[in-house]
Amino acid sequence: MTRTTPQQWMIEQRCLGHALCLILDSDGELNTRQLLLGNLDASQYCSVYSETPVSDLADAGPFMFLIDNPEDGRLNELLKAPERNWGWLASVAPEAGLNELVRHWRERLIVGIRPHQALYRFHDNRVMNRALGHLAVEAVPEYLGPAISVCYWQGEHWQTVANPTPGNHPVPKNPAWCNVPAEVDQSAHLREVNARRYLLAEHMEAYARIAEQQDPGLWLSAQLALADTWSWQSPEQLEFLLVQSLKETDGTLAARWQAHPDETPAAHFQRVYQATQFWQGDAS
């Protein structure tokens, strides 16, 4: 692991003939994402969650971009604000490009065994930092795949990690990155446990119908990931999201409920809540 600046790292990687990629978390970065999408063709970006079992979250999930111009002002705005934890940077061989990187992480997107599957937040630089700090050197290639090098905010400074053998690696039966020691804060786990208990106690029949259609653990994980994306963390907000999601399982809810630019989580929730009350006949 090496300390550097992202600008220095990008210059070095381009001098070596590598292509540059941005892995962007859509959470809180919708404006930046739309600006980046403004003048790109379809081969230069990809929504990672599309064409996966959680495709209904595609618009709220991570996107990957090929970076043609490291001096792009839109990119500089991200680099000046690493504390927003917006994602990370990777370099790949030009012939591998974006497709191989997307395929690699789609294969590692869902972790755990039914009915306790969950989404792996690979796009979160904090998750990557914990994983790379824990993995043995021999496990790094299976984790980083086609990425030759990665650059991410460690929490206090920028850090880079080189992949010893970049390329296509199969997913191991027991991925080492799924056994990274948990942080002291167990709130995410407790929230999932409490949400499952609530559904079993208050909405057993609807939750059972979900289980007939898909993995209920993965469904619940996807709803909680959506709550994280929108910063809906209060019990009232989580209950509302879960109940409405039980009514609509075709993915239209997430697309219709997207936050407006510069809309606060509280304002977003109130707008969606009031609109839902109106259309369901519970409000004027």
Residue type, 130: R
- Report yes or no: 57 and 226 within 8 Å, Cβ to Cβ: yes
- Where does a domain end: 153, 179, 205? 179
- Report yes or no: 104 and 125 within 8 Å, Cβ to Cβ: no
pTM of the model: 0.70
Contacts of 271 (CB under 8 A, 6+ apart): 260, 263
Domain count, the chain: 2
- Is the same domain home to 274 and 223? yes
- Is the same domain home to 156 and 230? no
Please return the burial class of 53, using the count of CB atoms within 10 Å of its CB with bins 0-12, 13-18 and 19+.
middle
- Is the same domain home to 22 and 90? yes
Question: SS3 breakdown of the chain: % helix, strand, coil, rounded to 5?
Answer: 50, 15, 40
Contacts of 224 (CB under 8 A, 6+ apart): 188, 191, 192, 195, 238
**Which candidate, 148, 160, 149, 143, places its Cα nearest to that of 5?**
160
Q: What is the C-alpha separation between 233 and 239, in angstroms, rounded?
A: 10
Write out the chain's pLDDT in tens, 284 residues: 777 899 999 999 999 999 999 999 987 788 889 888 887 888 899 999 999 988 888 888 999 999 988 888 788 889 999 999 999 999 999 998 899 999 999 999 998 776 667 889 999 999 999 999 999 999 999 999 999 999 999 998 999 999 999 999 999 999 999 888 766 455 677 788 889 888 988 999 998 888 888 888 888 988 998 898 898 988 899 999 999 999 876 656 766 788 888 889 999 999 999 888 887 765 54
- Is the same domain home to 147 and 211? no
Instruction: Map residue 153 onto helix, strand or coil.
Output: strand
- Is the same domain home to 19 and 153? yes
- Where does a domain end: 135, 162, 179? 179
pLDDT at 214: 83
Range of the structural domain that residue 54 is part of = 2-179
- Is the same domain home to 155 and 241? no
pLDDT at 281: 66
Q: Is residue 91 part of a domain?
A: yes
pLDDT at 91: 97
Residue type, 95: E
- Is the same domain home to 47 and 156? yes
pLDDT at 184: 45
Q: Is residue 284 part of a domain?
A: no
- Is the same domain home to 207 and 125? no
Q: What is the C-alpha separation between 146 and 165, in angstroms, rounded?
A: 8
